[in-house]
A = this chain, B = another copy of it.
């Protein structure tokens, strides 16, 4: 086929496919959708964050990136924006709240002057020739989310972004069923759809179920109410405000990221609070306990966020008192279960009543469940289907749903990051070669230099600690000029250490005295290694230096 296909490449996401970035390429023209980051998993020691590996695109100097479209303001869709615009100086397109959040990032990275940030609204059309974009509203867990219809020379594609079909969202803006249905009339070459909850049967509950749970909890609360949720979950703050108003409470926000998001949401009209409801934390401390609600960060048990500092009694100005009711209005992100559970237990220990999703419906997911995913497929009726935004297990489960609604197996592509999908004018989809498209570790200012080998070294250091020993010997005589100096860290507790380290110094001294000049450090290491293992069954990482003068 000499015809130019449209190429689509999912990029980035820690095991999740196309989560952080998608590239649509037609000949030399490229459209990027999203520019997000991931936070490291528990065993990725020392990694600050993880960005998509877009080397395949940046390695082609002739490409013209027409635009960077952002679906919504969550970190996993926006957080790598400074890395992406540094590589591709293309205009960014985002809805007002998303643009506000991105602006902060660009300012912090000193990139504001160098990048054009364009604001559009759901329903707008963008001409990024040869791509023609129709943005449509979707519900999710932050306001102002969109998906995209992308008309290309090959035909129409639909990208859902993260979505759910909430019939009664807090902001009353439902997912744009009509637009989705209208796409189907125009014949959709392929649908790229959010797979996060493809293992969950049924329909994700509406945000509005939380109102009645909040009502129960607020009605029963005798003391202060402290609600912890995601900093960007503006609709939840709205619901807390409504409940607080009904029960005569003022609302104070604690936590920098949440305060900033609330400020921006108020300014842009995504949050409507009655006059005087929002007060400062200082004012809140002077009110009787039953007249105040705190909204705080840290719903994932993050060590430095407000909720964990309350749980460990480490917050400067607020502390948990018996009689407080704490609502954890969030679910643990996979990998955070342990820390969240520990936080719940500690809050109970301090005497709080703790309400979390196992106790009452104080949280709902922001992603579509199986029935909604089937509905999306039925509304759009695509020729081809590509599950994205999920791990391989979720994509496989989403594939089952697509089969059920009648999409033939050969028109479903479950692929991993970096796999090129080629689409032709006749609607044919071909799975192409695989190019680099995974993720890159960012540690300090190092982008991509930390690999699994280095992580394994860090694991080894963390396992049993380190012992550092150095000494000076006279080259010719072998005489020990400076006796061994030893340092241990993370190895044994100070009580047991003294005797053990003293024996280690003696043993090292003996080896140095008995041996010639050659390979002394190795011999000392071997001796220490045996000594420590025999004495205490630990294998610290050893660093021995023998200077010869």
A residues adjacent to B (C-beta < 8 A): 15, 41-43, 45-46, 199-200, 334-335, 337-338, 341-342, 344-345, 348-349, 354, 356, 358-359, 391-393, 396-397, 416, 443-446, 449-451, 453-454, 457-466, 468, 470-472, 481-482, 485, 487, 489-493, 495-496, 533, 535-538, 541, 543, 545, 547-549
Residues of chain B within 8 A (CB-CB) of A337 are: 334-335, 337
Other A-B contacts than A349-B392, A354-B396, A482-B547, 15 sampled, CB-CB below 8 A, are: A200-B358, A344-B391, A348-B393, A354-B393, A359-B397, A444-B533, A444-B538, A445-B535, A446-B536, A458-B461, A461-B490, A468-B545, A472-B549, A489-B541, A547-B547
B449 touching A458 by the CB < 8 A rule?
no
Kindly state the separation between the CA atoms of A445 and B537 in the bound complex, as whole angstroms.
5
A348 touching B396 by the CB < 8 A rule?
yes
Residues of chain B within 8 A (CB-CB) of A396 are: 348, 354
Mind listing 23 A-B residue pairs with CB under 8 Å?
A15-B345, A43-B338, A46-B462, A335-B338, A341-B393, A344-B392, A345-B391, A345-B393, A348-B392, A349-B392, A349-B416, A445-B535, A446-B537, A458-B463, A461-B462, A461-B466, A461-B489, A461-B490, A470-B547, A485-B545, A487-B543, A487-B545, A549-B549
Q: A338-B335, A354-B393, A397-B359 are in contact. Are A45 and B462 (CB under 8 A)?
A: yes
A450 touching B547 by the CB < 8 A rule?
no
Kindly state the separation between the CA atoms of A458 and B341 in the bound complex, as whole angstroms.
23
Kindly state the separation between the CA atoms of A549 and B535 in the bound complex, as whole angstroms.
33
Residues of chain B within 8 A (CB-CB) of A537 are: 443-446
A547 touching B349 by the CB < 8 A rule?
no
Residues of chain B within 8 A (CB-CB) of A393 are: 341, 344-345, 348, 354, 356
User: Taking the nearest CB of chain B, how far is it from the CB of A166, in angstroms?
Assistant: 23
User: Taking the nearest CB of chain B, how far is it from the CB of A426, in angstroms?
Assistant: 29
